[in-house]
Amino acid sequence: MPSSMKARLDALTAEVLARIQAAETAAALELIEQTDLARKGELLGLMRGIKDLPPEDRAAFGQSVNQAKTSLEAAVAEAKQAFTTAAVVAATSDACFDPTEPGGSLPGGHLHPVTQVRREIEQIFMSLGFSVVDGPEMETEEFNFDLLNIPAHHPARDLQDTMWLEGGRVMRTHTSPVQLRAMREAGGKVPVRVIAPGRVFRNEQPDATHEHTFHQIEGLMLDEGVSVADLKGVLRLVLSRIFGGSVEVRLRPHYFPFVEPGFELDMRRTGSDGEWLEILGCGMVHPEVLRAGGLDPDVVSGFAFGMGLDRLTMMRFGIEDVRWMMSGDPRFLTQF
């Protein structure tokens, strides 16, 4: 092997080693890694000279370069470790440090108030034989509107300010499309008893009572011979459980395109002659919607409802501004 190249390798190895030993910070060591020991550095650059060597010397020289590189890398790693150890020793050599002292506890999280109330309501419905189902937040125009008896150009479209997406898709403006998905999932069979909680989206300018993102719970109960009496009975029972104690409910006629008749349901505590509180929208599922779900309206009937989960949560906890709900602000969240 020509002694000049071997001599250059040895000299370079010694120089880099000296730099490693002289490094005073971990950052200095990293710089050495990124320059001296880098692929483009001088050390590995020596490899390029290999082609000028006699063939019988090439393998041995390549090996020497690699060995030099490996040992220098080990030296860097060792030096880095020494800095880490030194830092720990420095931090712990404080006279007050007591390694037997228990550690401080991390702040514990908990469920969001909306999640707490949602889970409670899910439990109540499950105890009545309902299942909890899910639907996509990004819906098709067809499921969000058309199949729910809200055709394009019908004024009912304007009841919900919609966030339109590309390709005929929308951020769902309500959980009602899950009704159709549940009916189709059931393949034309009844009974269907489901609730579908989830996020919904409207093109709203947020204020104390409006948000662009909020939560609803949709409900659907279908069978042969389901009547308005069932609707009223089930919802009264559920609201009694949610609010703890007996409540009375009343239905006021209201227009929703996907039910006929449609109602707004108000409640108040039994025996109180206080104010009626408007609590949810509901009605008997419209024949067109039953057909769209693959059911025969001459055989099957049922009720549907949609309630605002944020409002219920706000009532439960005495929260005044809906914008807090999605704020993620710990000053708000830690109160529940």
Residue ranges that bind ligand DAH, judged by CB under 6 A: 174, 176, 218, 256, 259, 281-283, 304-306
Question: Do 286 and 302 meet the contact criterion of CB atoms below 8 Å apart?
Answer: no
The b-or-e profile of 246-270 (16+ CB within 10 A means b, else e) is: ebebebeeeebbbbeebbbbbbbee
Q: State the burial class of residue 184 (Cβ atoms within 10 Å of its Cβ: 0-12, 13-18, 19+).
A: middle
In sequence order, which ranges of the chain are alpha helices (DSSP H)? Answer: 3-22, 26-34, 42-45, 55-92, 113-127, 141-144, 177-185, 228-243, 287-292, 309-317, 330-333
CB atoms near residue 157 (< 10 Å): 17
**How many Å apart are CA 123 and CA 118, to the nearest integer?**
9
Closer residue to ligand DAH, CB minimum distance, 143 or 305: 305
- Closest CB 126 distance from ligand DAH, rounded Å: 19
Q: How far is the CB of 102 from ligand DAH (least distance, A)?
A: 51
- Which residue lies nearer to ligand DAH by CB, 5 or 285? 285
Cα–Cα dist 211/114, whole Å? 14
CB 321 within 8 A of CB 208: yes
Cβ proximity to ligand DAH: between 144 and 240 the closer is 144
Q: State in angstroms the smallest separation of the CB of 124 from ligand DAH.
A: 17
Q: Nearer to ligand DAH by C-beta: 13 or 149?
A: 149
Report the distance separating Cα 289 and Cα 152, nearest Å.
16
Nearer to ligand DAH, 37 or 259 (CB): 259
Q: Which is nearer to ligand DAH, 61 or 214 (CB)?
A: 214
Instruction: State the minimum distance, in angstroms, from the CB of residue 147 to ligand DAH.
Output: 13
Nearest distance, CB of residue 132 and ligand DAH, angstroms:
16
Nearest approach, Cβ of residue 305 and ligand DAH (Å): 5
